Amino acid sequence: MKKWKPLYGLLASISILFILYALMKNYMIDPGAEGFLSHKTGLKRELNLPVWLNVMYVHVAFACIAMAAGLLNFSNRIFEKSRKFHRINGYVYFVSVLLVVLTSGYMAPYATGGKISSMGFNALNMIWPLITIIALVQVKKKRIIRHRNWMIRSYAFCFTNMLIHLITFLFHQGFGLIYVTSYTIGVYGSIVLLLVIPDIIIRTMPLRIYYGKETGLTDETSV
C-alpha cells in the first residue's frame, strides 16, 4: 500500500499535466492543428479539413475524459469511499475509450506517414478496446486483481499521443530523421512500449492494493 502512494502521485501529476496540455494545445493554442497538419504531404485521400478537425476535437475531449476517469479509478481512497462511483466512473472510462477509438478510426486513413502509420493506428484501434473489454469481463467474474492488472494495461494507452510525440521528437530533433519517418517510428515504438511498460509496473506493484478490511475483498487467488 505504501509503495503505491508515490507511484499514484507521479501518475496523477503526469496525467493532469498532459490533460491540461492537450486541452490548451488543441482548443486554444493551435485549434486548426496547423502545426500537425503541415507534415501531411502527398496524402492518398483528400482530407476534409472541417470534418477532420471536428472529429479531432471529439477525439481529444474523450481522450482527456478517459485519462481523468481512469486516474480517479486507480485511487484507493476513492475506491474505499464509494464503490458505486468506481463502477459508474468505470463505465464513463469504457465509453470514452470506445469514442476515442471510433474517432481514431476516422482519422487513421489520413495518418502522417501514410499506410504504414495507418496500419499501426488500426492495430491500436483493436488492441485498446480488446484489453479494456478483458478488464471489464474480469471484474464481472469478480477476479479483482486480474481486473486491476488489465485496467493498468488499458490505461497505458491513454498515453499513446504523448509517447508518439516524445518518440517523434527524439528521432526528429535528436537523431535528425525527417518528421514523417520519426512519426511512424513513434507510432510503432509507442505500441511496443505501451504493451511492455504496464507489465513491468504490474510485476513491481504490491498485490494487496484492493484487499483489506476497508474493501472487504478477499479474492487473493485470482491473480
- Interacting span for ligand HEM (CB under 6 A) from 82-90, 152-160, 195-203, 207-215: 152-160
- The neighbour count for residue 74, using CB atoms within 10 Å, is 20
Contact 151, 205 (CB under 8 A): no
- The DSSP result for 117-152, as a single string, is HHHHHHHHHHHHHHHHHHHHHHHHTT-HHHHHHHHH
> Does 55 interact with ligand HEM (rule: CB under 6 A)?
no
User: What would the grid cell of residue 58 be?
Assistant: 471529439
Q: Which is nearer to ligand HEM, 95 or 217 (CB)?
A: 95
Task: Pick the binder of ligand HEM from 60, 135, 145, 180 (CB under 6 A).
Answer: 60
Please tell me the number of Cα atoms within 13 Å of 144 on its side-chain side.
Answer: 18
- Interacting span for ligand HEM (CB under 6 A) from 55-63, 77-85, 137-145, 166-174: 55-63
Task: Pick the binder of ligand HEM from 11, 55, 69, 111 (CB under 6 A).
Answer: 111
Q: Which is nearer to ligand HEM, 61 or 144 (CB)?
A: 61
> Does 161 interact with ligand HEM (rule: CB under 6 A)?
yes
CA distances from 28 to 21, 31, 91, 143, 201 (A): 10, 6, 29, 43, 34
> Does 26 interact with ligand HEM (rule: CB under 6 A)?
yes
How many residues are listed for the chain in this entry?
223
In the complex, least distance from residue 135 CB atom to ligand HEM, rounded to whole angstroms: 15
- Interacting span for ligand HEM (CB under 6 A) from 80-88, 157-165, 170-178, 198-206: 157-165
> Does 155 interact with ligand HEM (rule: CB under 6 A)?
no
How far apart are the C-alpha atoms of 186 and 163, rounded to whole Å? 7
> Does 121 interact with ligand HEM (rule: CB under 6 A)?
yes
How far apart are the C-alpha atoms of 40 and 14, rounded to whole Å? 29
Interacting residue ranges for ligand HEM, rule: CB under 6 A: 22, 26, 33, 36, 56, 59-60, 63, 66-67, 100-101, 104, 107-108, 110-112, 121, 124-125, 128, 157-158, 160-161
